[in-house]
Copies of this chain bind each other. A is one copy, B any other.
Amino acid sequence: MSEVYAARRTKLRERCHAVGSESALISRPANVRYLAGAAPKGSVLLLGRTEDVLVCLDPPDDRAGEGRPDETLRLQTLPGSGGDPAVAAVDLASMQGIDALGVEEHHLTVARHRAIRSVAPRLHLADLGAAVEQLRVVKDEEEISCLRIGAEIADQALGELLESILVGRTERHLALELERRLVDHGADGPAFPTSVATGPHSGRRAHHPTDRRVEEGDFLSVCLGATYRGYRCEIGRTFVIGTSPADWQIELYDLVFAAQRAGRESLAPGAAYRDVDRAARQVLDCAGYGESLPALTGHGVGLEIDEDPQLAPAAMGKLDACVPVTVEPGVHLPGRGGVRIDDTLVVRPEADGGPELLTITTKELLAL
């Protein structure tokens, strides 16, 4: 794996040169992990002139899912409550004779920036912007394989839940049960707080589970994901409780399903982000739900659950092959409930069979 991390750092170095720096200080945890293999709490990565150094508060731990630092990196730990790793990294940069350093201004706080300036007043600090986030958009097959395993775990957890009795159980219990099953099946943990929404709550994005119990006739929307080796996937499904869904439930379900399928089918290398969003959105828009739609209908996933690209009306850019994204349109009718359907897929060229669906739980409307 060392070569992978070293190759990523080489790519970043090339980007640094473009902003006039020969070196970089990476502080955003997911970016540190991407480039170093691990991101112990508070750690920063110095891409130096003579060597790259991972500066940590404490020695890296072999904790489940935290990753292991690339062995070709030098590790430096700060003893005890030994101050700010970013400041220590800047000290190292000075010792390496570095005079221009790229930093992540979208992550670095003003106070930390000032502390860096005060220990190295002559060091030129340039903004790297989202350079590392951009590198992270296209995944390699190793990364996709972690997402695939995470998706299998989420499918398993969801499948088991569907076999159990649901009526009478609370949203909070169902969410905890799902998270336990994720871990049972080998996840590092949930990829994000599991959402279980019943009845009038159903169909809401990121609904926080409450003490409401599942009732006959409810829509039940579930959204969960597993983290596997740091990589986070997402699946969302909506079910109906009881033997026969109401007509409005079937109609709404079919509509959201059609929107989600349209989004999925538009995934292809070269497709504009906004066109994927529009494909899903216009189905709901034409049916009169345009006003209440969420700001985006999908997003990238990887080391973070919500990363670039954003599939939204004003998003700029085009999909590449090997970009994993969610497609997750939904409609929520206040007071009644609604439907969300959410898959994680990997963009693949037509020649390779088109988009690869990672979350394979059925999208038929199941009556449970």
Contacts and interface: CB of A to CB of B under 8 A. Distances in A.
Interface stretch (A100-108, A133-141, A255-263, A356-364): A100-108
A113 interface: yes
Nearest to A170: B183
B106 A107 contact: no
A122 interface: no
Contact of A110 (B61, B109, B207, B209): B109
Nearest to A61: B208
A81 B295 contact: yes
Contacts of A275: none
A176 interface: yes
A100 B80 CA distance: 39
A172 interface: yes
A271 interface: no
Interface string A337-350: 00000000000000
A106 B314 CA distance: 31
Interface string A22-35: 00000000000000
A307 interface: no
A179 interface: yes
A106 B106 contact: no
Contacts of A65: 208
9 contacts: A63-B207, A64-B208, A64-B211, A81-B312, A105-B111, A108-B110, A109-B110, A172-B183, A173-B184
Interface of A: 61, 63-66, 80-81, 103, 105-114, 127, 172-173, 176, 179-180, 183-184, 207-211, 295-296, 310, 312, 314
